[in-house]
Chain A
Amino acid sequence: EAGVAQSPRYKIIEKRQSVAFWCNPISGHATLYWYQQILGQGPKLLIQFQNNGVVDDSQLPKDRFSAERLKGVDSTLKIQPAKLEDSAVYLCASSSTGEQPQHFGDGTRLSIL
């Protein structure tokens, strides 16, 4: 089966600019996760979708981050405006249900200048 696809792989922007990441989960997976992984740290969950509904966004900085999941399939994560501390790898993962193991994409590495 095809894995979780993410794009772009790398992105460099200046602070205060906006950026968007895209994720295509494994076909049929109802649960989708966005994680932020800062260098030297473990991934931190930003937002979790069950189909196209949000079930956890407690750690999402809602003043600058937004995410949506269109028709319960693809998802986009947006940052506007970006800050220096947003430099990180943004990982997308999916699972068939919240009970099943998560499958991760290769992530988008974001650098803020």
Chain B
Amino acid sequence: KQEVTQIPAALSVPEGENLVLNCSFTDSAIYNLQWFRQDPGKGLTSLLLIQSSQREQTSGRLNASLDKSSGRSTLYIAASQPGDSATYLCAVRGATDSWGKLQFGAGTQVVVTP
């Protein structure tokens, strides 16, 4: 059974510092991995999706890497801003899943202080 873990559970950084968020998974047979952002009282917003054949994806200040063999992904957010304060979740889709089922981690709650 796939287990997805995100450590730390919470993180506080001063504005301008780079953020590094970690995600690990136990079964390397994945189809893709996705990073989401969740603001309080809101649903999830997809940030980046990495296919199993890719090593990284970039969007603006966000960069996500994937090391499938070691079961790890890292989300980097450059030059953090107070608006980056949110909970960040990673989710994996299994390689044998035909219907797009996602297995989520519990998330890392990020606070960026001005």
A104 touches B44 (CB 8 A): yes
A102 touches B46 (CB 8 A): yes
Cβ distance B105 to chain A, nearest Cβ, rounded Å = 5
Which of A48, A56, A97, A107 contacts B43, CB < 8 Å? A107
Q: Looking at the complex, which of B53-61, B62-70, B73-81, B96-104 is the stretch in contact with chain A?
A: B96-104
Per the bound structure, the CA–CA distance linking A56 and B96 in Å amounts to 14
Size bin of chain B's contact surface: 20 to 34
A104 touches B43 (CB 8 A): yes
Asked if B89 lies at the interface with its beta carbon under 8 angstroms from chain A, I say yes
Interface string of A43-55 (1 = CB under 8 A from B): 1110010100001
Which of A43, A91, A98 contacts B98, CB < 8 Å? A98
Q: Contacts A43-B104, A98-B100: A105 and B43 contacting too (C-beta < 8 A)? A: yes
Cβ distance B59 to chain A, nearest Cβ, rounded Å = 13
Residues on A with C-beta less than 8 A from B100 are 31, 48, 95, 97-100, 102
B101 touches A48 (CB 8 A): yes
Cβ distance A92 to chain B, nearest Cβ, rounded Å = 8
Asked if B30 lies at the interface with its beta carbon under 8 angstroms from chain A, I say no
Cβ distance A60 to chain B, nearest Cβ, rounded Å = 13
Residues on A with C-beta less than 8 A from B105 are 42
B106 touches A42 (CB 8 A): yes
B104 touches A42 (CB 8 A): yes
Closest to A104 in B: B43
Residues on A with C-beta less than 8 A from B46 are 101-103
B residues near A, CB below 8 A? 4, 9, 34, 41-46, 49, 89, 91, 98-102, 104-107
Which 6 A-B pairs have CB atoms at the shortest separation, nearest pair first?
Answer: A42-B104, A98-B100, A104-B43, A98-B99, A104-B44, A106-B43
